[in-house]
Amino acid sequence: MSGHSKWSTIKRKKGAIDAKRGQIFTRLIKEITVAARSGGGDPEGNARLRAAINTAKAENMPKENIARAIKKGTGEIAGEVYEEILYEGYGPGGVAVLVDCMTDNRNRTVADIRHYFAKSGGNLGEFGCVSWMFEKKGLIQVDKSLIAEEKLMEMALEAGAEDVVEEETEYQVLTAPEDFDAVRTALEEAGLTFLEASITRIPKNMVEVTDEKNARSLMKLLENLEDHDDVQNVNANFDIDDDLMEQIS
């Protein structure tokens, strides 16, 4: 969990989420559009769309933006056609990196992603080269100041969660992908707000990065990937000591 948890914490500390709200809206609009295209425009019968709408609402996206994205997905109004692509590779220090993209130009996107990997000293690999090291899970992050661990554990497990993991400043609620929506809804109805809630890829094992140069290059790679307009999510299996993380941050 360390890689995902620490990377999320770094982004929050830097204020990246607030500073790049426009970029977040763009990503959410893409997700809503693709979800509506693949499963229909009714969120009651489309779990992926329902989750995307919930995330958009949590980010205070205007209702009209959500409605327009759904209509683009269902074809009621004209819009771009996005292709979903998963890129896989190795970053500095042998860290496995997964990059979820939605793009209307595959050639442009793969050229940019390959460039970022090469620039960092890593390399873009073939399909399947690192994805086996990750497991798809629902992940809900809750600030530790909001609730006691035992109470959260009780609520989450009752709603269908698999586990609750304690991190330095937050709790990680883990679910099977198919149970994510139900657990999220139950916790929201209990009055909890989330630092993050999404279906993501959790590494099965971690790669410890101890070299400062590799750590800096890895963080730069992740930042470059996150900043790309076609990138939806980035996951990596790194573990960096807290002191080194503080030093390079």
Task: Describe the crossing of helices 47-58 and 180-189 by its angle, rounded to 10 degrees.
Answer: 40
Domain spanning 133-203: which superfamily? YebC, transcriptional regulation domain (3.30.70.980)
Q: What is the pLDDT of residue 95?
A: 96
Q: What is the pLDDT of residue 89?
A: 97
Domain with CATH 1.10.10.200 in the chain: 2-74
pLDDT for residue 228 is more than 60: yes
In sequence order, the 6+-apart residues with CB closer than 8 A to the CB of 92 are: 120, 121, 122, 209, 213, 214, 215, 217, 218, 221
8 A C-beta contact, residue 126 and residue 114: no
Give the neighbor-by-neighbor strand order of the sheet with 96-103: 123-124, 83-90, 96-103, 231-236
Q: CATH says 83-132+205-248 is which class?
A: alpha beta
Q: How confident is the model at residue 196 (pLDDT cuts 50, 70, 90)?
A: confident
pLDDT for residue 133 is more than 60: yes
What is the per-residue pLDDT across 118-130, written as a single tens digit (0 to 9) for each? 999 999 999 999 9
Domain with CATH 3.30.70.980 in the chain: 83-132+205-248, 133-203
E-state strands within the chain: 83-90, 96-103, 123-124, 134-143, 163-166, 170-175, 196-203, 207-209, 231-236, 238-240
Q: How confident is the model at residue 243 (pLDDT cuts 50, 70, 90)?
A: confident
Chain centroid, CA 190 distance in Å: 24
CATH assignment of 2-74, among 3.20.20.80, 1.10.10.200, 1.20.1250.20, 3.40.640.10: 1.10.10.200
What average pLDDT does range 153-179 have in this prediction? 94
Mean pLDDT of the chain: 90
Q: How confident is the model at residue 2 (pLDDT cuts 50, 70, 90)?
A: very low
User: What pTM did the predictor assign?
Assistant: 0.85
Q: What is the pLDDT of residue 211?
A: 94
Q: What is the pLDDT of residue 10?
A: 62
Other CB atoms within 10 Å distance of the CB of residue 248: 15
Residue-wise DSSP of 47-73: HHHHHHHHHHHHTT--HHHHHHHHHHH
pLDDT for residue 170 is more than 80: yes
Q: What is the pLDDT of residue 14?
A: 55
pLDDT for residue 7 is more than 80: no
Q: How confident is the model at residue 146 (pLDDT cuts 50, 70, 90)?
A: very high
- Residue 130 DSSP one-character state: S
